[in-house]
Chain A
Amino acid sequence: MAVRTEPFVLNMGPVHPSTHGVFRMRVTLDGEVVVDIEPIFGYLHRGIEKLAEQRTYTGIIPLTDRLDYISSMSNNFAYCLAVEKLAGIKVPERAEYIRVIIAELQRVAALLIAVGAFLNDCGAFFTPFLYMFRERERIVDLFEMVSGQRLTYNYMRVGGVSQDLPDEFMPALRKFMNMMPRFMAEYDRLLVQNEILIARAKGVGILTGEQAINCSASGPVLRASGVKWDIRKADPYSIYDRFDFAIPTQTTGDCYDRYRQRVEETRQSLHIIRQAMEQIPSGPVRAELPQLIRPPAGEAYAHIEAPKGELGFYLVSDNSIAPYRCHIRPPSLINLTALRDMVRGWKIADLIIIFGSIDITVGEIDR
């Protein structure tokens, strides 16, 4: 006699340790196998795009800190680039280098968290996470030194950065850069050959390159599927065209590849920082600007390669002190659309891993 079954709907989240914040998935299950999922978000909605319409151009920078709070510096960077494009502001040379160093350090910090959280979801309970947090702590120390805060940095300004680097920054950064390759080797020794991780992540949640392009995924998720697309190379912003770095790609696009992709990107970021440290000139760090910026009427879109993917800011100006419209293209939200393709047919335990491998921040999805 055939057993009659029917689909079962399970609510995962909004307060679930594996959903990385307040995110909810309505999962339709057939036994243990995922048939369909429906992401539901909006639990962290703060209306940042609307709030931005009432603030001055400088006053929006603290808001951008609160988008993807894992990588605040990248958000500041993207926003400042958008305003500079809108108003045609030239940034001093030293400020460009500081921005690149800081943004790449931020990428290392954010990717460490991404990898750590992913391994946490895999069941390596907090051991690799804590090791990676220790290295992130060293980066956050440096950020605290330059900006005075540890999470919401609010460091970059339109036309440069808020203050010059303190004298003790460069020696500390050099120390960190000497330390970091050893720790990267340590992570590899800890995890690359680990049979449990390979069994759980290899071949799981495959996203082909075509699928990734179709859902306009970006960042490590896209590159792990074998598509060589990095905005730092494809549409160079700031001074990225002066540095020599490679775009690592993987082949299959499974969870293990996404993990490896993030580790490889960390290496490239360190490579960029090393070059920027050698080339950094002295000089002013901020362009001479009036306190209230009034860009000419028009629109501008600036995008950067944030740790999670393409982060874009679209600004419309009506020649007043506040933008007429501010739209944000968050990488987490767009990458999340690939989730349904990835999880269909996998078990619910794999859903956690696949979801963790996309690396989302809910602050950015809901805005």
Chain B
Amino acid sequence: MKFERYGIGIAKGLTVTIRHLFRHPTVSQYPEQRLNISRRFRGNELVWNKEKCTGCGTCAKTCPQGAIEIVTSTDMTENKYVVDKYQVDTGYCINCGLCIESCPYEALYFSHAFECARYRRSELVQSKDDMLETPERKVSGYFYPDKANKLPEQTLLVEKVTEKR
């Protein structure tokens, strides 16, 4: 390296950084500015469909963490299983989605929520009444493309203009 040419590389590099001054910021300020998450988002909670569930227990068998607990009893008058207890410990859940994938009756979904912090560990355990679908607990489109199409489209960084301000 010749001494007189020393510094050209640094100057070239600095032009890149200076050019970034005049670009749109790529970062969004989270709590105020919210981006749409993926339509297939695997949220922190599960949504359980009371009508469709037959109590077969496939989800509990597939769960690699053993986070799903299901207790059923037989109803002799209607000749079907009654789900007495359906409980998910979201503290153990790793959001892998294998339960939803395996459910043969399409009775289990991911929720589209992600701000699910709790103060106590016991609050992470969700009983079957906590897991029903409500207007606040939207269903994610993971494994359900028809549900995914109803959700808002994901914000992508490739779509954002980052070149000129």
- B153 contacts which chain A residues (CB < 8 A)? 168
Selected interface stretch from B34-42, B80-88, B131-139: B34-42
- A137 contacts which chain B residues (CB < 8 A)? 26, 157
Known: A59-B62, A148-B42, A172-B159. A127 touches B17 (CB 8 A): yes
Q: Which of A62, A142, A196, A197 contacts B96 (CB 8 A)?
A: A62
- B13 contacts which chain A residues (CB < 8 A)? 189-191, 193-194
Residue of B nearest to A178 (CB): B158
Digitize A52-96: 1 where CB-to-B-CB distance is under 8 Å, 0 elsewhere: 000110111111000000000000000000000000000000000
- A142 contacts which chain B residues (CB < 8 A)? 156, 158
Q: Which of A55, A131, A145, A149 contacts B64 (CB 8 A)?
A: A55
Whether B127 sits at the interface, judged by CB under 8 Å, is no
Q: Which of A55, A134, A149, A172 contacts B156 (CB 8 A)?
A: A172
Whether A335 sits at the interface, judged by CB under 8 Å, is no
Residue of A nearest to B7 (CB): A195
Q: How far is the CA of A63 from the CA of B94 in the complex (A)?
A: 10
- A168 contacts which chain B residues (CB < 8 A)? 153-154
The answer to whether B1 and A141 touch across the interface, beta carbons within 8 angstroms, is no
Digitize B15-31: 1 where CB-to-A-CB distance is under 8 Å, 0 elsewhere: 11100100000100000
The answer to whether A149 and B42 touch across the interface, beta carbons within 8 angstroms, is yes
Known: A193-B12, A195-B10. A154 touches B110 (CB 8 A): no
Q: Which of A145, A190, A196 contacts B40 (CB 8 A)?
A: A145
Chain A residues near B (Cβ < 8 Å): 55-56, 58-63, 127, 131, 134, 137-138, 141-142, 144-149, 152, 154, 162-163, 166, 168, 172, 175-176, 179, 186, 189-198, 291
Q: How far is the CA of A149 from the CA of B97 in the complex (A)?
A: 10
- A163 contacts which chain B residues (CB < 8 A)? 40, 142-143
The answer to whether B158 and A166 touch across the interface, beta carbons within 8 angstroms, is no
Q: How far is the CA of A56 from the CA of B15 in the complex (A)?
A: 54
Q: Could you list some 12 contacts between A and B, CB below 8 A? A: A63-B64, A134-B157, A138-B157, A144-B41, A154-B96, A162-B97, A175-B159, A194-B12, A195-B10, A198-B1, A198-B9, A291-B62
Nearest Cβ on chain B to A164's Cβ, whole angstroms: 8
- B40 contacts which chain A residues (CB < 8 A)? 144-148, 163, 166
Whether B76 sits at the interface, judged by CB under 8 Å, is no
The answer to whether B159 and A148 touch across the interface, beta carbons within 8 angstroms, is no
Whether B89 sits at the interface, judged by CB under 8 Å, is no
Q: How far is the CA of A148 from the CA of B158 in the complex (A)?
A: 17
The answer to whether A186 and B98 touch across the interface, beta carbons within 8 angstroms, is no
Residue of A nearest to B11 (CB): A193
Whether B116 sits at the interface, judged by CB under 8 Å, is no
Nearest Cβ on chain B to A51's Cβ, whole angstroms: 9
- A186 contacts which chain B residues (CB < 8 A)? 16
Q: Which of B15, B39, B94 contacts A152 (CB 8 A)?
A: B94
- B9 contacts which chain A residues (CB < 8 A)? 192-195, 197-198
Residue of B nearest to A173 (CB): B158
Q: How far is the CA of A56 from the CA of B58 in the complex (A)?
A: 13
Digitize B43-76: 1 where CB-to-A-CB distance is under 8 Å, 0 elsewhere: 0000000000000001000101000000000000
- B41 contacts which chain A residues (CB < 8 A)? 144, 148-149
The answer to whether B64 and A59 touch across the interface, beta carbons within 8 angstroms, is yes
Q: Which of B37, B62, B94, B156 contacts A138 (CB 8 A)?
A: B156
Q: How far is the CA of A179 from the CA of B15 in the complex (A)?
A: 19
Q: Which of B38, B62, B98 contacts A148 (CB 8 A)?
A: B38
Known: A144-B154, A148-B42. A56 touches B64 (CB 8 A): yes
Whether B6 sits at the interface, judged by CB under 8 Å, is yes
Q: Which of A55, A176, A190 contacts B16 (CB 8 A)?
A: A190
